[in-house]
Amino acid sequence: MIIASASENKNLEKRVAITPEIAKKYISLGFKVKIQKNYASHLGIDDGLYGEQGVEIDQDISNVYKSADIVVQLNLPSNENLSQLKEHQCLIGVLDPYNNKEKINELINKKVNNFSLELLPRITRAQSMDILSSQANLAGYKAVIESFSQFEKAIPMMMTAAGTIPAAKVLVVGAGVAGLQAIATAKRTGAIVFATDVRSTSKEQVESLGGKFLTVEGAENLETEGGYAKEASDDFKKKQEELLAETLKKIDIVICTALIPGKKAPVIIKEEMIKNMGSGSVIYDLAAVQGGNTALTEVDKVIEKNGVKIMGETNILNKLPTSASNLYAKNIFNFIVNLYDKESKKININLEDEIIEKTLIK
């Protein structure tokens, strides 16, 4: 069986789905691996490194797709490349079925098997395949680094002969995987860290990392069975707004990570709250692509309002593409191992397997 991957639009996506290390593992399982020429050269990974592992390299993207049994990518391919896919092929990636419904329906009609890994169930067996966790970890770390680069004061407390510089105060909104990594990163640099989340179960995790958990009085736990946050009631939102409004007056840096799968990001930080923040404060909004957690977020722009900088990018992982690719490629490999029947050397789409059933778009 042939596993293949082609280059993506580098302006939008610098990560790759197959690294030389993972290509070697596929080949040891009995797969053939094919990639497009200069597939990962932008990451400093020469085609020769793939060739040494036995990977076939082709200049023509249509040959890469047409010859494959399994196509692995980051995002849904372009319309032109989607037309190359054929019956019984498997397409594996982050397909964003909520926003690509029409294109995916066309693939379903062509009898292409589409697996979207952001739909993985939150179960122990799926942890090694969990692309949301592996990528969010890096995103949380990088958001802190990017926001610190815009903050024009020192982060840790410094005691000098000339006086004391106070530690920066950081607020992390949303204590999922990205938020927890943001807390850990900010804490390691010497910041005083606060965090808030609608899931009350996050309190223990936040505090274990040295953060202070902020919660509204009498808050209910707004967590789905799958471990994600769900929509809050109007009463909760009002109480949360009041708590945030007071807290933000004393905060230097805010990292926003709150997302609801398949929905527009909740607007948590209103314009009035931003007006009351201190001049020189910074907000990094990881939810920017899904509308943003602030009322003023604009994608790929640094907005300044009353001296407060608000940042958000289309794809922050384009700033860590090598690390992100290494983790993503391993996630994909583990997913395919679960999908692959070693005895028959074929793909086994067993819908009794929760991992396969949840990720296959039907």
Q: DSSP code of 96?
A: -
Q: CB neighbours of 263 closer than 8 A, spacing ≥ 6?
A: 231, 290
Task: Check 47, 53, 67, 122 and give the catalytic one.
Answer: 122
The answer to whether 323 is a known catalytic residue is no
SS3 216: coil
Which tokens is 234 given? 């109007």
Whether the Cβ atoms of residue 75 and residue 96 lie closer than 8 Å to each other: yes
Distance (Å, whole) CA 94 – CA 22? 18
Determine phi and psi for 308, rounding to 5 degrees: -100, 130
> What are the E-state strand segments in the chain?
2-5, 32-36, 56-58, 70-75, 90-94, 113-116, 158-160, 163-165, 169-173, 192-196, 212-214, 253-256, 282-285, 301-305, 308-312, 340-341, 346-347
Distance (Å, whole) CA 185 – CA 168? 13
Determine phi and psi for 142, rounding to 5 degrees: -70, -35
Which tokens is 207 given? 């505090």
End-to-end CA distance of the chain: 23
The answer to whether 197 is a known catalytic residue is no
The answer to whether 122 is a known catalytic residue is yes
* pTM for the whole structure: 0.90
Domains of the chain from N-terminus onward? 2-119+321-359 (3.40.50.720), 136-318 (3.40.50.720)
The answer to whether 127 is a known catalytic residue is yes
Task: Check 5, 7, 133, 181 and give the catalytic one.
Answer: 133
**Predicted local confidence at residue 48, as pLDDT:** 96
**Predicted local confidence at residue 57, as pLDDT:** 97
Determine phi and psi for 216, rounding to 5 degrees: -80, 150
Task: Check 7, 39, 130, 135 and give the catalytic one.
Answer: 130
Q: Which stretches in the chain have pLDDT values below 50?
A: none
Q: CB neighbours of 151 closer than 8 A, spacing ≥ 6?
A: 168, 252, 253, 280, 281, 282
Task: Check 83, 127, 149, 208 and give the catalytic one.
Answer: 127
- What is the torsional sign of CA 222, 225, 230, 232? negative
pLDDT tens digits for range 8-39: 999 899 999 999 999 999 999 999 999 999 99
Task: Check 69, 150, 228, 323 and give the catalytic one.
Answer: 228
pLDDT tens digits for range 258-269: 988 778 899 999
Which tokens is 208 given? 């274990």
**CB-facing half-sphere around the CA of 195: CA atoms within 13 A:** 35
pLDDT tens digits for range 133-170: 999 999 999 999 999 999 999 999 999 999 999 999 99
Q: What's at 6, amino acid-wise?
A: A
Distance (Å, whole) CA 175 – CA 256? 9
